[in-house]
């Protein structure tokens, strides 16, 4: 079977780009521990999914990885450098596209460049050629309200990409979309992220989404509100290419490995 056994750590010899070491996180400065002793690794161009039930602290972990909040214990390392509590080193994309209604799409996606001090004209020149690649050609001068949900999310992804970081954190990025758009967009995202060499950490509570997208799935378990801090229940490595080659199909969802991965994740979730 192409899927690794439970609690396997990634069998990747390449050093990770982003690494969380023994993170313990709290909502209120230490009194209430939400996440205890979590470690995870993200390699180059990898898609890593964090799966857990609602309220288990997935967004809290992403906030810590982004530097928006500092862990009470542990470290977040980007290529070995400690970035704990220092935002701006990794990109972040949320469930809501958060496009600014008062800015045209071109200016929305240019925002990270403008924030870094690029003149508006230069920023537009950098962003404009990417519109076609992101399936956004012709939307440059439109307002966000003129775009469909899927297009808005692609624009948000282009903005995330233009932050120029090696790692993107995605907080349930497709959950606000309708089912068909969601499936289309997540396969589009995986292809684009690999093309661009962007490593991703995606949080989701949709097991199918995690198995479809991820190279590795960290299954989280715990109920912080009931006083049980969240920990990593297990890690599932997804060997998509090998599974498709073995099964002789070009859709991972049709392989026995897909079902096995899904079962493992569900078992770990309890």
Q: 10 Å Cβ neighbour count for 118? A: 17
Element (H, E) at 199: strand 199-204
Residue 35: alpha-carbon gap to chain centroid: 18
Distance, in Å, from the CA atom of 17 to the CA atom of 40, rounded to the nearest integer, reads: 11
- Applying CB under 8 A, which of residues 178, 195, 241, 267 lies at the interface with another protein? 178
- Applying CB under 8 A, which of residues 135, 140, 206, 208 lies at the interface with another protein? 135
206 touches another protein by CB under 8 A: no
Nearer to another protein, 82 or 267 (CB): 82
94 touches another protein by CB under 8 A: yes
Nearer to another protein, 111 or 269 (CB): 111
3 touches another protein by CB under 8 A: no
Distance, in Å, from the CA atom of 39 to the CA atom of 32, rounded to the nearest integer, reads: 19
Exposed e or buried b per residue across 161-186, where buried means at least 16 C-beta atoms within 10 angstroms of its C-beta: bbbebbbbbbbbbbeebeeebbbebb
The stretch near another protein (CB under 8 A) out of 32-40, 88-96, 200-208, 225-233 is: 88-96
Exposed e or buried b per residue across 123-157, where buried means at least 16 C-beta atoms within 10 angstroms of its C-beta: bbeebeeebeebebeebbeeebeebeebbbbbbbb
- Applying CB under 8 A, which of residues 26, 91, 200, 204 lies at the interface with another protein? 91
180 touches another protein by CB under 8 A: yes
27 touches another protein by CB under 8 A: no
101 touches another protein by CB under 8 A: yes
58 touches another protein by CB under 8 A: no
Nearer to another protein, 146 or 231 (CB): 146
Q: Which of residues 141-170 bind another protein (CB under 8 A)?
A: 143-146, 148-151, 163
Which residues contact another protein by CB under 8 A? 63, 66-68, 87-88, 90-92, 94, 96, 98, 100-103, 111-112, 114-116, 135, 143-146, 148-151, 163, 178, 180-181, 184-185, 188
């Amino acid at each position: 079977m192409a899927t690794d056994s439970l609690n396997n750590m990634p069998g990747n010899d390449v050093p990770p780009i982003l690494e969380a070491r023994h993170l313990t996180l709290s909502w209120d400065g230490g009194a209430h521990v939400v996440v205890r002793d979590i470690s995870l690794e993200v390699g180059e161009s990898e898609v890593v999914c964090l799966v857990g039930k609602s309220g288990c602290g997935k967004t809290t972990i992403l906030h810590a990885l982004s530097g928006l909040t500092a862990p009470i214990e542990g470290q977040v390392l980007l290529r070995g450098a400690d970035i704990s509590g220092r935002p701006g080193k990794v990109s972040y994309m949320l469930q809501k596209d958060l496009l600014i209604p008062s800015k045209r799409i071109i200016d929305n996606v240019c925002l990270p460049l403008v924030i870094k001090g690029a003149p508006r004209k230069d920023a537009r020149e950098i962003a404009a050629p990417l519109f076609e690649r992101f399936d956004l050609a012709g939307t440059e001068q439109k307002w966000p309200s003129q775009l469909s949900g899927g297009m808005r999310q692609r624009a948000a992804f282009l903005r995330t990409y233009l932050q120029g970081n090696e790692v993107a954190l995605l907080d349930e990025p497709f959950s606000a979309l309708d089912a068909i758009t969601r499936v289309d967009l997540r396969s589009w995202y995986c292809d684009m992220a690999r093309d661009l060499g962007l490593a991703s950490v995606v949080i989701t509570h949709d097991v199918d989404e995690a198995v479809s997208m991820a190279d590795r799935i960290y299954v989280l378990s715990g109920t912080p509100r009931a006083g049980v801090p969240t920990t990593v229940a297990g890690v599932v490595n997804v060997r998509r290419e090998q599974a498709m080659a073995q099964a002789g199909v070009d859709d991972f969802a049709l392989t026995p490995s897909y079902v096995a991965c899904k079962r493992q994740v569900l078992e770990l979730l309890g």
